[in-house]
């Protein structure tokens, strides 16, 4: 599947209705973003069951603000609706491919258990 341009109206639906979603926050004027774009596109072709979205920070300022994007490109990943990865900077092609493979193998029951434990700990501290 090629990359999708993601806008605010379709953002939540995309995250909720797909098992694994990667997002590339970018802008037209950003040199590193332009270099990362073709890498992101190539890797997206290798994983047809993963949604690779692109979010233009100039056009989608509310989404960029929601994630506190301070530098671009920034890659964010969601698995089963939960944010599991966020990193500013362009990832090398092999690293991006490796990231997708690791995310595919990520045990979300463990992730949910860790989140629940952290929330319980925070609730105790209040």
Dihedral of alpha carbons 104, 45, 85, 56, sign? negative
> pLDDT band for position 125 (50/70/90)?
confident
Dihedral of alpha carbons 5, 9, 11, 14, sign? negative
51-99 pLDDT, tens digit per residue, is 999 999 999 999 999 999 999 999 999 999 999 999 999 999 999 999 9
Q: How many domains does the chain have?
A: 1
* Residue 73 contacts residue 36 (beta carbons within 8 Å): yes
CA distances to 20, 79, 90 from 85, rounded to whole Å, are 11, 9, 14
> pLDDT band for position 3 (50/70/90)?
confident
pTM given for the model: 0.91
Paired strand residues for 14: none
Kindly report whether the peptide bond that precedes residue 8 is cis, defined as omega within 30 degrees of 0. no
> pLDDT band for position 1 (50/70/90)?
low
Q: Of 15, 21, 23, 30, which one is the catalytic site residue?
A: 30
Active site residue 33: yes
Q: How much is the average pLDDT of 23-31?
A: 96
Q: Of 15, 20, 21, 33, which one is the catalytic site residue?
A: 33
* CATH number, domain with residue 61: 3.40.30.10
Domain residue limits at 38: 4-125
> Element (H or E) spanning 125, and its range?
helix 108-125
Lowest mean pLDDT among 2-6, 40-44, 70-74, 109-113: 2-6
């Amino acid at each position: 599947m090629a990359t999708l341009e993601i806008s605010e109206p379709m953002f939540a639906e995309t995250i909720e209705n797909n098992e694994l979603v990667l997002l590339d926050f970018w802008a037209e004027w950003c040199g590193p973003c332009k270099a990362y774009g073709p890498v992101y596109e190539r890797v997206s072709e290798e994983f047809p069951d993963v949604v690779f979205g692109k979010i233009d920070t100039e056009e989608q300022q509310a989404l960029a603000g929601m994630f506190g994007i301070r530098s671009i490109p920034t890659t964010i990943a969601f698995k089963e609706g939960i944010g599991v990865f966020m990193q500013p900077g362009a990832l090398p092609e092999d690293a991006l491919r490796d990231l997708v493979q690791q995310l595919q193998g990520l045990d979300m029951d463990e992730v949910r258990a860790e989140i629940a434990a952290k929330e319980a700990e925070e609730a105790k501290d209040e």
